[in-house]
Amino acid sequence: MRTSVPPLPVVRSLVSRSALFWAATRAALLPFGVSFGRLAPAVLIVVLVTTLTVLAMRRRREHLFLGNLGVPLVTAATVNGATAAALELGAASAARLL
């Protein structure tokens, strides 16, 4: 199975939605004492954000549109997961500076 890079407007949409879900997930887990810089919560947040964005794409039937563009759902999920991981890594390094 050959994967392709999604077009730039699609990547922008995926990254912005993933960032929004990351911020909402972080805000929702903050009262439970989930801190920055720990590996287990970071992995949990990346998996949760990736799952939420894929479910949102399937709910809006965007996976069909991406399929018509030749972009499989796995590639879109990878972009979402990479965005969440980058944000989590950036938040952890920022927390170490404080």
Beta carbons within 10 angstroms of residue 47's beta carbon: 12
- At residue 13, what is the residue type? S
* pLDDT-derived band at 59, boundaries 50, 70, 90: very high
Q: Which residue has the tokens 């199975």?
A: 1
pTM comes to: 0.82
* pLDDT-derived band at 30, boundaries 50, 70, 90: confident
Segment 26-49 shows an average pLDDT of 82
Q: Which residue has the tokens 């980058």?
A: 86
Share of the chain above pLDDT 70, in %: 88
Question: If we measure between CA atoms, which residue out of 4, 12, 3, 92 comes closest to residue 46?
Answer: 92
What is the DSSP track for 19-56?
A: HHHHHHHHHHHGGGTPPTT-HHHHHHHHHHHHHHHHHH
Mean pLDDT estimate for the chain: 86
Segment 7-36 shows an average pLDDT of 87
